[in-house]
Amino acid sequence: MGFEKDIEQGLNHKFVIGAFHNSNLIGICAFFQYPDNPKSGELVQMYVQNNYQGQGMGLQLINELLAEAKKTPTIETVFLEVRYGIDNALHLYKKAGFSPINQPKSEDEDYKMSISI
């Protein structure tokens, strides 16, 4: 509920980017600025429908999200987390310019990544 309420109120510390094909939503990703550290935020809720994956849609969503995040002058770094074993997502984020912060050793850990903008 937090995203919806903030978007309706026009707050710019959270936003969602959507990708559409023939008026159908086929992908999303969202961003929120950390309230305790206004110099950074996080990419969350990345999703592209299976039949549109591998066509550059995910990279376009990420690039749009980063461009929008840059409009907030205080944002310097965007973070994200990737579940262990989701190699296609890890590859996508690296292609978009994100760098790993850690190297998980088990399924109990997530990859943590960041990019300076």
Q: Which domain holds residue 58?
A: 2-116
pLDDT score of 85 = 86
Residues 43, 49, 51, 56, Cα dihedral to 10°: -20
pTM for the structure as a whole? 0.85
Question: Each residue's pLDDT tens digit in the chain (117 positions)?
Answer: 455 665 565 555 789 999 999 999 999 999 999 989 999 999 999 999 999 999 999 999 999 999 999 998 899 999 999 998 888 999 999 999 999 999 888 888 999 999 999
What's the structural domain count of the chain?
1
- Span between the terminal Cα atoms of the chain, in Å: 28
pLDDT score of 48 = 96
pLDDT score of 1 = 43
Residues 99, 105, 106, 109, Cα dihedral to 10°: -40
- The domain that holds 74 is classified in CATH as 3.40.630.30
